[in-house]
Structure 1
Amino acid sequence: MTSAPHESTAKQAAPLPDILSPAFAADPYGAYRIMRESAPLIRHEATNSYLVSRYEDVERIFKDKSGEFTTENYDWQIEPVHGRTILQLGGREHAVRRALVAPAFRGADLQEKVLPIIERNARELINAFRHTGEADLVDAFATRFPVLVIADMLGLDRADHDRFHGWYSTVIAFLGNLAGDPEVAAAGQRTRREFAEYMIPIIRQRRSAPGDDLLSALCAAEVDGVRMSDEDIKAFCSLLLAAGGETTDKAIASLFANLLAHPEQLAAVREDRSLIERAFAETLRHSPPVHMIMRQTATEVELSGGTVPAGATVTCLIGSANRDESRYREPDRFDIFRSDLTGTTAFSAAADHLAFALGRHFCVGALLARAEVVTGVNQLLDALGELRLADDFTPFEQGVFTRGPRSLPVRFTPVPG
């Protein structure tokens, strides 16, 4: 990592593991701590971006009340794999598109239409292993659950689960391709074509014969005379599959990894299920599924550590900001009872963690994620008694752009049901 004085007045960083290095991938949190303390703004040549690590700076970038930051970076970052999505829009165009899709993820639609889908999928997956006494919670549940929920919400064939999972894994690899591997890039672009070939005929069929599903609702939705095109809907479905699948997958896995590492907190959650939301919120702070979100500067901007020129890409290090010592007490400690994190607002734009971003681009699926996690964790705790990690297994996170346990083998006492 280097500072480029002719492009920024960012301070020269102390020696750090580069964000593309194996050392950083093994433990980003130690590097984050050094960044916050001595190099809060780093010009990173390999990714052609400025790394921002402090909470106050990332919060300011996400809220952006003065128009200093845009999402134009998504033109090259996500459009090649999704097509043009709501994330790239601003102003009235963004407000109208968000109004078209948001109703499905909140209020009556979430409670009446989506919650039964969530409950059914959690139950079916858990029933497949609840009597065995052992399971890998990642493979048997976390990676399957959110994808099946999204497929059912959209009214897609759940027999295509493996294709959906393959597509979203390829898309996430593309988004995290910080080193610019051409094969990863080509696979992502190939996925865009394959997903379009799959989805566009289904979208056209729903327009002519709508059903009682999210895809049909998107086809019919209209706000201020604006309706979504086939391409708009396809791009949103692609984004939903990748963002909703990957993030909820890793959040559930990390939540259980954290609770299993703190048996007294697991026991408290098992006893008082209202604590599930606090455990989820603390997981989002302590072990966020997405560690990096990018923005682009619309003008020259002063941040902690220096100046970023107009038109530059800024990489917001959520994994660092969420452990900022100036914002959280003992930030590296997982504590569902901490007083400096507000559970009641953790899934709204007033959240005091940064895992869902903030401001007008706050994650539209935050309440869906909460419903999935609360339902899934409740059902797992009901079915799995005396839950513990498999012998000699220590959970460890993997990934740089997105991060979480790839495996979580557990032993448990089956609960009749």
Structure 2
Amino acid sequence: MSSAHAAPDILSAEFAADPYSAYRIMRAQHPLIRHEATGSYLVSRYEDVERAFKDPVFTSDNYDWQIAPVHGRTILQMDGREHSVRRALVAPAFRGRELQDRFLPVIERNAAELIDGFRATGHADLVADFATRFPVNVIVDMLGLDRSDHDRFHDWYTAIIAFLGNLSQDADVIATGLRTRAELAAYMIPVIRERRAHPGDDLLSTLCTAEIDGVAMSDEDVKAFVSLLLAAGGETTDKAVAGVFRNLLANPDQLAEVRADRSLIPAAFAETLRFTPPVHMIMRQPSQDVTLSGGTVPAGATVTCLIGAANRDPARYADPDTYNVHRADLTTANAFSAAADHLAFALGRHFCVGALLAKTEIEVGIGQLLDAMPDVVPAGGELPPEKGVFTRGPGSLPVSFTPARPLAA
């Protein structure tokens, strides 16, 4: 097919500055691109990305080289009964009464503590002062680890995310990621063994003692899941908190609606997951030749699923480049389940196990931030741009508001 536009390069500075313009060109003119620098095929249309997530011919074998070096072997690399049993061991802690009764107080406390750090000042950077800290602190506390190690875990989280998003294969980023895996293992394995011997009322103890049909998680399984939780659970919520607030600040009428009706927070989160997803790319690997829009992908090749492009596909969504918390073609009730209308949490058997945890964190975090900042506006009147390629969100989000007394007072 002839075209006036060359296929965009996902490693270019132009793409990093504005991927959404590139996504429009990809969907319309280059729905399947062989990207030599990453050795993968790029797919950008909703129907193709959805199929890659749901069709069993697409495997997660790519994770053996993509994430195993930094995490070890996780449930993302497992299939069949091995995957279903491991998922069943961990899933109960992230849904229903377990989540609400055991961990909601942890989430509420961590949000309040971080907000108290700037509540009385009248200004904050919602990324540096809240979003990037909040989910990591919650995970550390859910696991029952030493709260004095929040900063250490934040450093590990930052290194892991940099490793996973290292599309250009920077050697220093790789070395830091590998060092982080060793440091995290040295920290976690003794704690895991202690919890097996003396379990408590925390998530780590639950992971150490859970058993289904005689199958339990090994020390390495638990450590790998903690590493995965730190990265996947931290990055999605980190970028989503900042993304929800940035999208609402960019649409003051919708911000006013959400402030007046907090039941709209899940809709604002769901629309943010569609409009500005925290993770823009997830990879899959077909076990046989597969025909997609634009051509055929050979068996064993890596397919880079461009979530950021698919979630703005006009063939799936009306007016896709507009943020709308009242969107009729996005069902909030399904947005945090495997039946979601968006692709930000993937779909199928590898749908994000922590989606409901992320939803709870967003509801609490956004709600408390709105309470603390009733007249919040962008500092200087400007909203900073998004940053990132593999994962993407505001690099900073300075805001101003009328100071209030800390809750502790």
Q: TM-score range by the shorter chain?
A: over 0.9
> Could you say which residue in structure 1 is the equivalent of 2:17?
26
Match of 1:262 in 2: 251
Aligned length: 406
2:161 maps to what in 1? 172
2:332 aligned residue: 343
Change (3 A) 1:21 1:225: same
Of 310, 317, 332 in structure 1, the residue corresponding to residue 299 of structure 2 is 310
Whole-angstrom distance in 2 between the partners of 1:232 and 1:409: 39
Q: Deviations over 1:335-379 (max 9, x none)?
A: 111111111110001100000000010000000000000011111
2:394 is aligned with 1:405: yes
Instruction: Give the alignment of 1:343-382 within 5 angstroms.
Output: 343-382=332-371
Distance 2:176 2:396 in 1: 24
> 1:287–1:404: 8 Å Cα contact kept in structure 2?
yes
The one of 84, 97, 104 equivalent to 1:95 is 84
Between the aligned partners of 2:148 and 2:398, the Cα distance in structure 1 is 26
> Could you tell me the TM-score, scaled by structure 1's length?
0.95
**Counterparts of 2:263 and 2:4 in 1: how far apart (Å)?**
43
> d(CA) in 2 for partners of 1:378 and 1:154?
24
Report the Cα distance in structure 2 between the residues aligned to 1:392 and 1:216, rounded to whole angstroms.
47
Partner of 2:8: 17
Question: Which residue of 1 is the match for residue 284 of structure 2?
Answer: 295
- Equivalent position amino acid for 1:22 in 2: A
Q: Which amino acid aligns with 2:166?
A: N
TM-superposition CA deviations, 1:215-263 (whole Å, max 9, x none): 0011100011100000000000000001111110000001100000100
Alpha-carbon displacement from aligned partner over 1:99-123 (angstroms, at most 9, x marks no partner): 0000100011101001010011111
Give the TM-score normalised by the residue count of structure 2: 0.97
Task: Tell me how far 1:322 sits from its aligned partner.
Answer: 0.3
34, 37, 41: which is aligned to 2:28?
37
User: Which secondary structure state, in structure 1, belongs to the residue aligned with residue 316 of structure 2?
Assistant: coil
Q: Is the 8 A contact 2:331 2:341 kept in 1?
A: yes
Q: Which residue of 2 aligns with 1:7?
A: none
Distance in 1 between residues matched to 2:150 and 2:382, nearest whole Å:
29
Looking at structure 1, the residues matched to 286 and 149 of structure 2 have their Cα atoms a distance apart, in angstroms, of 40
Q: Secondary structure at the match of 1:177?
A: coil
Counterpart-to-counterpart distance in 1, 2:66 and 2:58 = 16
Which deviations, in whole Å up to 9, do the C-alpha atoms of 1:283-326 show, x marking residues without a partner? 00000000000000100000000000001000000000000010
Partner of 2:67: 78
Matched, 1:55 2:46: yes
Which of 383-392 and 30-39 deviates more?
A: 383-392
Of stretches 345-354 and 157-166 in structure 1, the one that deviates more from structure 2 is: 157-166
1:156 to 2:145 alignment: yes
- The Cα of 1:18 is off from its aligned counterpart by 1.0
**Do the aligned partners of 1:385 and 1:414 also contact (CA within 8 Å) in 2?**
no
Aligned-pair Cα RMSD in Å: 1.3
Residue 130 of structure 1: CA displacement?
Answer: 1.0
> Alpha-carbon deviations, 1:178-224, whole Å to 9, x = none?
11112211111111111100100100111111111000011100011
**Structure 2 unmatched runs, 5+:** none
- SS at the partner of 1:386? coil
CA displacement at 1:394 relative to structure 2: 2.3
Amino acid at match of 1:131: A
Q: Distance in 2 between matches of 1:229 and 1:157?
A: 22
The correspondence for 2:261, drawn from 264, 272, 280, is 272
Instruction: Give the Cα separation in 2 of the matches to 1:338 and 1:222.
Output: 42
Contact 1:12 1:42 in 2 (8 A): no
1:392: how far off? 4.4
For residues 353 and 229 of structure 2, the distance between their equivalents in structure 1, rounded to whole angstroms, comes to 10
Contact 1:11 1:41 in 2 (8 A): no
SS of match in other structure, 2:370: helix
Match of 1:4 in 2: none
* Percent identity over paired residues: 71
For 1:13 and 1:39, how far apart are their aligned partners in 2? 11
* Aligned equivalents of 1:266, 1:319: Cα separation in 2: 23
2:311 aligns with one of 311, 319, 322: 322
Name the counterpart of 2:119: 130
Shift of residue 80, structure 1, vs aligned partner: 0.1
Find the residue that maps to 1:257 and give its secondary structure: helix
Is the alpha carbon distance of 1:104 and 1:11 closer, same or farther for their aligned partners in structure 2, counting shifts above 3 Å? farther
2:170: which partner in 1?
Answer: 181
Which residue type is aligned with residue 196 of structure 1?
A
Instruction: Kindly state the Cα deviation for residue 14 of structure 1 after the two structures are TM-superposed.
Output: 3.9
Is residue 14–residue 39 contact of structure 1 (8 Å, CA) maintained in 2?
no
- Could you list the runs of 5+ residues in structure 1 that have no partner in the other structure? 1-9
Q: Distance in 1 between matches of 2:226 and 2:28?
A: 40
Q: CA distance change for structure 1 residues 204 and 11 in 2, over 3 Å: closer, same or farther?
A: farther
